[in-house]
Structure 1
Amino acid sequence: SGYVARQTALAILESVPDKRAFQQLLTCVRFWAKQRGVYGQSHDFGYLGGAGWAICCALVCQIEQHQDLEQLLGAFFDIMSRWDCRVPVALNGRAHRQVQRNSAGLKVLLPVGRKLCANPNLTASAALQLQKEFRRGNRIFAKIQHSQADWKQIFSVSKFFERYFHYLQFDITASSEEIMFQWLSWCRQHLQGTAEMLETVGNCHLITRPWPVWLPFKDCEWHSAIAVFIALRVLPHTRNEPAGTRTVVDLREILVTLLERLCAWPLATEHLGEFDLYIRHTSQAEVKSWLTALEGGFPVKRAHRPTTQTQAAISLPEADSEDDMSRQSSSFEFQ
C-alpha cells in the first residue's frame, strides 16, 4: 500500500549515515540492474524492485561508512556476491552473517512491519540470475582495480536477445487502454511461477531466463499490445545418447495449464472479444526481426501458430561451458 511504501522510504533514509552517498549508490545500482535485466517488480518473475534495491544499498552504506562512490559500488558487489542467502537482507540491526558461498533464495525484508518481504515472489530462476550478476559485477570491479577493465563493462547492456536461440513470447493485447490495464494486471499477477513450471518438463533439463521488461508494440489487429519474453536453454539428462539424437520438449500440458489460469480472469465475460493472449515459441532470428519492427515503429504481423501445439524437437550439440550452452546451435520443429 501507499502507507507502507512511504514508511519504508522514510525508514531507509533514516538508516543510512550519509544520505547523499546512499542516493548516488542507489542511482548507480538501479541503472546497473536495468541494464543487466534484473530490475523488476516482485510480481514480474521475482526480481527485485525499487524498494528491494534501496534496502540492499542502504545496508552497504551502513557497513561501509565514509567511502566514496567507487568504493561503495565495489563493496555492493562484494557483499551481495558473498551474501548467505539463508539470512535475509534487513536493516533492523540484527547481525548480518556473510559466508563464502551462495545459495538460492535471497530475501530482502522491509524495514517496517513484521517480516514483510520486498520480494515475496522470488523465484529460483530469478535468484540464480541475481547471483550470476552479483558475481559478474564483483569480477569486473576487481579487474577495474588493476586497470584491466573499465566501468563501461559493469554497466553494459545484457545481450539477452543474442545469447539464446529459443524464446517463449507472450503477447498480451486489448481493444482499449482501459481494458489493457485490467487485463495486463491480471496477467502479470498470474504469470508468476511460469519459469518454474517450464523447468518441470520431464524428459530434459530446461533452464529459463525471464526478461523482466514489458515491451509495448504496434499490432495489426489490436489497439494495445505488449510482450514479454522468456529465454529457453535445454540440457539433456545424459551425455551418453547416440550422436544425432533429438530431444523432444513437450510444453503443451504446461502451457494449457497456464492458459487456463489466465483465462479465469473475472472480467473475461464482460470483455469477450476485446482482449487476447498469444503464446508462441520464437527463434533468435524471429526475435531480432520482431525487435527491428519494434524499433522502426512498424506494426507486427504475427504468424498464426496454434498455442496448444507446443511439442518441439531440439537438437543438442555438446557444449564445454555454460556460455556455450546458451549459444548452442539448435532448432525447434513444431509438430
Structure 2
Amino acid sequence: MLFSSGFALFYRDDIDCLLVVPKHVSRDDFFTTFQPMLQETQGVTQVTGVPEAYVPIIKSKISGVEIDFLCARLGLSSIPDDLELTDDNLLKNLDERCVRSLGGPRVTDQILRLVPNVDVFRDALRCIKLWARRRAIYSNVMGFLGGVAWAMLVARICQLYPNQAAGAIVSRFFTIMHQWKWPQPVLLKPIGDGPLGVKVWNPKLYPQDRLHRMPIITPAYPCMCSTHNVSASTQEIMMQECKRAAEVVARIFDEGAPWSELFEKHDFFSRYRYYIQVVAAADSAENLKKWSGTVESKLRQLVLKLEFVESLKLAHPYVKGFERVAHCINDEEVSEVAFNRISDAVINRTQEEAAKEPGYRTVYTTTFYIGLAIAPKQAGAVGPQKLDITYQTNEFKRICKQWELFDVSFMDLHVTHIKNAQLPNWVFEGGVRPVPKASKRPKPTKVRRKTQPPISPASTRRCGLGSLFGSSFSCG
C-alpha cells in the first residue's frame, strides 16, 4: 500500500511516498526488487537507493517530479485496504528505521487534525515555504528546516490565532519566530506516552536532547525533534532572515510595500568575501549521485567543526550543490575539473568533439559552498589576522572517504578556499555575475614622496587571502 507523507504545495515540491509492506517482505526486497522495477518504469529518469541512510530511501525523478520512496514493514500478514496509520499499535515490534519511515504520514495527519482552519494553514504554509526557498534556508540536510518543520511552525501560529486570515498568520509568524526564546520547544500538543517503550523526546531525561538548539517536536507518537540538524550558524542565519521578514511585512501592512519584497532572492554569493568550495567528482552520473549524496550528508559535520574555530563568526552552508558535466581530453583537464577550475575550452566542448580524442573522459561533479563570516579583529591585536582550518577540512575529507562504497579509482573529493571574485558565473541566477555596487568611500588624498620602493609580489600576497588564512592553511 502506498501513502503520501508530505505537504506538496508547489509544482516543484518533491513528493514523499511510503510503501507499507507485510512482515514477509524484507527491507532488502525494497532495494533489490522494487528499485529495479522502478528503474524500468516508463518516465523514470533517475533512481538512486540509499539503504544506509538514517531513514532508508530510494530517490527518483518521474516525469520531471522528484519522488522519494520510503518503506515500512509492519507486523501483519497482509495489508488491508482501509489501513489507518494513526493507530499507535501498528508500531509494535517494529525496528527504529520502520518507525521513522512511518513518521512522515503520521505527522502530516496529526498536523492537519490540530490546526483550526486547514485552508488558512495551507495558504500561509505556501507563503512561508516560498519565502524559505527564496532566502535559501529550506534544507534539513544542511542544518536548516525541512518542509515538516516549517509546517509545524506555521501550524503553531494558526493555533495561537485561530480566527485570523492567512496574511495575518504570515505577519505574526515572523514577529513571533524571530523573538522565540530558543531552546524552548515548539509543541502542537503535549508530549504523551504511547503503547511502546520507545524513546520520546525528553531533555530532562536524555542529555542528547538538551543539545537541540531549535526543538520543534512532532505531534505523532513517538514524539521526536525534527530539527536536530540545526547548528549555531544555521540558527543565527534563520533568525536574521525572520527578523528581516518581520520588518518587510511591517512595511507591507503599514506602508503598502509590495509582497514581492518579502520574496526577494537571497544574496548568499555576494554576502561573504571568502568561501569554502567542496567538489565531489565521479566517472558517471549514477556514481556521482551516490557519492555527492554522501558528501552532502557530511557537510553539516564540517560546519560544526568550523564553528569551533576562534576566528570564524559563522559558517553558512548553501542549501544545494551545483552539478556539472565536463568532457575532458587529457589528465590535466580532468585534474582541473576536479578542483572546479574549468576552462572555457572544456565548457564549450561538446561530447562529440571530445570523443574524437584518444584521452577522452567525462567527469561529473557536484560543487557545494560554505560562506565564511570572519570575526572582527580583537582590539589590541598585532599583525595580520590568521585563520587555520586545515584540521577541520582534512577531518571532513577523511570522514567522507570512510564511506564503504568509496573507490579512489573513480571518485574524488577536493576542498579549497576561494574569494568571492573567484566564484564561477554559473552559481549566479542566469549565469550572470551581478555588477558590484560602487563604493561611496572618499578617495584618499595622494601624498607625493621623493622615493617609493617598488611593491614586491611577496608583500602583495601578505595583504590578500594569505594573510587572512595564514601560511599554514590548506584545504586541498
List runs of 5+ in structure 2 lacking aligned partners.
Answer: 1-99, 192-211, 328-333, 335-361, 433-460
Write the deviation string for residues 155-179 of structure 1: whole angstroms up to 9, x where unpaired. Answer: 1111111111110011112222322
Deviates more, 1:147-156 or 1:65-74: 147-156
- For the pair 1:136 / 2:244, whether they are aligned, the reply is yes
From the superposition, tell whether residues 294 and 246 of structure 1 become closer, same or farther in structure 2 (CA, over 3 Å).
farther
Aligned match for 1:32, one of 131, 140, 149 = 131
Write the deviation string for residues 44-77 of structure 1: whole angstroms up to 9, x where unpaired. Answer: 2x11001000111111111111222211110111
Shift of 1:334: 6.6
Alignment check: 8 A CA contact 2:279 2:368 kept: yes
Write the deviation string for residues 218-244 of structure 1: whole angstroms up to 9, x where unpaired. Answer: 3354543211111012124512235xx
- Report the equivalent of 1:18: 117
- For the pair 1:5 / 2:76, whether they are aligned, the reply is no
- Report the equivalent of 1:171: 279
Alignment of 1:57-206 (within 5 A): 57-93=154-190, 105-147=213-255, 149-202=257-310, 204-206=311-313
- Report the equivalent of 2:388: 250
SS at match of 1:218: strand
SS at match of 2:386: strand
**Bigger Rg over Cα:** 2
From the superposition, tell whether residues 314 and 191 of structure 1 become closer, same or farther in structure 2 (CA, over 3 Å).
farther
Alignment check: 8 A CA contact 1:247 1:314 kept: no
In 1, the alpha carbon distance for the partners of 2:325 and 2:294 equals: 21
SS at match of 1:155: coil
Q: How many residues align?
A: 291
In 2, the alpha carbon distance for the partners of 1:205 and 1:3 equals: 40
TM score, norm. by length of structure 1: 0.79
- Report the equivalent of 2:369: 229
List runs of 5+ in structure 1 lacking aligned partners.
Answer: 95-103, 297-311, 317-329
- For the pair 1:262 / 2:432, whether they are aligned, the reply is no
Shift of 1:39: 0.5
Q: Partner amino acid for 1:258?
A: F
Shift of 1:284: 0.8
- For the pair 1:280 / 2:416, whether they are aligned, the reply is yes
Shift of 1:106: 1.6
SS at match of 2:215: coil
TM score, norm. by length of structure 2: 0.57
Greater RCO between the two (CA within 8 Å, min separation 6)?
1
Alignment check: 8 A CA contact 1:314 1:332 kept: no
Deviates more, 1:183-192 or 1:14-23: 183-192
- Report the equivalent of 1:239: 379
Q: Partner amino acid for 2:417?
A: H
- Report the equivalent of 2:323: 216
SS at match of 1:213: coil
Deviates more, 1:141-150 or 1:167-176: 141-150
Alignment check: 8 A CA contact 1:247 1:315 kept: no
Write the deviation string for residues 99-138 of structure 1: whole angstroms up to 9, x where unpaired. Answer: xxxxx92211111123311112111111111111111111
From the superposition, tell whether residues 113 and 313 of structure 1 become closer, same or farther in structure 2 (CA, over 3 Å).
farther
In 2, the alpha carbon distance for the partners of 1:223 and 1:145 equals: 51
- For the pair 1:51 / 2:148, whether they are aligned, the reply is yes
Q: Percent identity?
A: 24
From the superposition, tell whether residues 191 and 313 of structure 1 become closer, same or farther in structure 2 (CA, over 3 Å).
farther
Write the deviation string for residues 257-280 of structure 1: whole angstroms up to 9, x where unpaired. Answer: 111111111112xx3311111111
